A = this chain, B = another copy of it.
Amino acid sequence: MIIVKGGVTAPKGFLANGIKAGIKESGNADLALLYSELPAVAAGAFTTNRFEASPVKVSKRHLDNKIHQAVIVNSGNANCANGKTGIADALAMAELAAKAIGLDAREVLVASTGIIGKKLPIEKVETAIPSLTSGLSSARGSAFAGAIMTTDTVKKELAVKVKLGNTLITIGGACKGVGMLYPEMKTAKHATMLSFITTDAVISKKMLESSLEEAIKETFNMVSVDGDMSTNDTCFVLANGACGNKAIVKKDKDYVKFTGALKFLAGELAKSLARDGEGATKFVEIEVAGAKTRDDAAKIARKISTSSLLKCAIFGSDPNWGRICAAAGSSGVNFDPDKVDVYLGGVKALSNGSIAQSYSKEKARPFFKKKTVLIKFDLKSGKASAKAWTCDFSKEYVAINSEYST
């Protein structure tokens, strides 16, 4: 597997665009379109929030269709808590895009991100559609990645190539965060993390769903910025088969290779979300090892990753590892604290549940000053492990989020 340039338009047969439609008060780009020249199979994963945004509801229904060729996305407005009007507007987005490209509306998927509880200005979308569709190009993947951003400071895109049989297939992706970020998505025929993945591999819808499910569990569902789950989290994968590899229709060697590449791509995109988390000055990776089950390890890693206290300590380069223990201990997982080892970077802080003899704050501080902070929590009670990613908690996070809707 190799990393190549580009994002959602790196695979063959995908065009994209991103433009300014006037939804955002800032005047930044806010409307994006992804188009597959060939009919594609699609799989989606969505937020498990009880308050589901309208585009989530519409896309879940549209995913019942066998094929899909487009995804329309707006930023600057979540189209959530807008009642029937919200549903109508989400549907209208799909219909407007479909009509302009010559598709059935059910072949179009929809996603939104931005403020909750404000009517989507659908008339602005309508006005922008001609310019959006006419500008579709394989060179505009990066414009797509730009137009889906909200508080993101950098575009997040990536593409990889992997060989299936004798065919080199490509997987590309773009995603945005970077607040209200604690996805717990589930795949459903029927997360505000938005993630769009494309591939030119030939794969059945069923296998694509299964591959996505495997991938998000260890990637997007393990990243957090603030522990606040969005009403809009969404991840779509479109596979258009343009590469002509031997079709993946069962969990064979090619499936495993494809899923490995998808997991790598999704993992890198997920980490890029944490790196660009609102107000973030540092990236944090938490590894929980020695657990009885992967679920136990994941629960503990996720709990540590959402500790406001730990994240403030990391902001201040203060190796206050007691907060790691307190967070892990409140995860609901039953473990023996007297067996636990904790490492800060390369420094052992906790050994069998009490301060390591060799530990000193002076040794640990340099590792907390780095741009990437690595924390390892070893339960020494089994063989399962999991990693979670987050960022530090800065005054800037508070600044960004104290005046978001004004």
Contacts and interface: CB of A to CB of B under 8 A. Distances in A.
B329 A50 contact: yes
B337 A307 contact: no
Given A308-B226, A320-B405, A116 B80 contact: no
B231 A78 contact: no
Given A116-B323, A322-B78, A394-B398, A49 B312 contact: no
A312 B401 contact: yes
A322 B398 contact: no
Interface in A350-379: 350, 352-355, 361
A36 interface: no
Given A230-B326, A355-B117, A355-B119, A337 B51 contact: yes
Interface string A87-121: 00000000000000000000000000001111100
Interface in A109-154: 115-119
B397 A325 contact: no
A405 to B, nearest CB: 4
Nearest to A317: B402
A49 B354 contact: no
A335 interface: yes
A7 interface: no
B361 A405 contact: yes
A337 B52 CA distance: 8
Given A81-B354, A329-B49, A398-B394, A313 B405 contact: yes
A403 B318 contact: yes
Interface size on A, as a range, is: 35 or more
Given A81-B350, A328-B50, A402-B318, A227 B308 contact: yes
A319 B402 CA distance: 10
Specify which of A82, A326, A334 lies most central, judged by the most chain B CB atoms within 10 Å of its CB: A326
A321 interface: yes
Contact of A229 (B116, B326, B353): B326
A116 B308 contact: no
B330 A226 contact: no
B309 A353 contact: no
A115 B307 CA distance: 16
Contacts of A338: 83
Given A116-B320, A117-B322, A179-B309, 14 more contacts: A50-B330, A50-B334, A51-B353, A52-B329, A52-B337, A80-B326, A81-B350, A85-B354, A227-B306, A229-B326, A312-B402, A313-B401, A313-B405, A361-B405
18 contacts: A50-B328, A50-B331, A51-B328, A52-B337, A80-B326, A81-B353, A82-B354, A119-B355, A182-B330, A226-B309, A228-B308, A228-B330, A229-B327, A229-B330, A309-B401, A312-B400, A316-B406, A397-B398
Interface of A: 48-52, 78, 80-86, 115-119, 179-180, 182, 184, 226-231, 306-309, 312-313, 315-316, 318-323, 325-331, 333-335, 337-338, 349-350, 352-355, 361, 393-395, 397-406
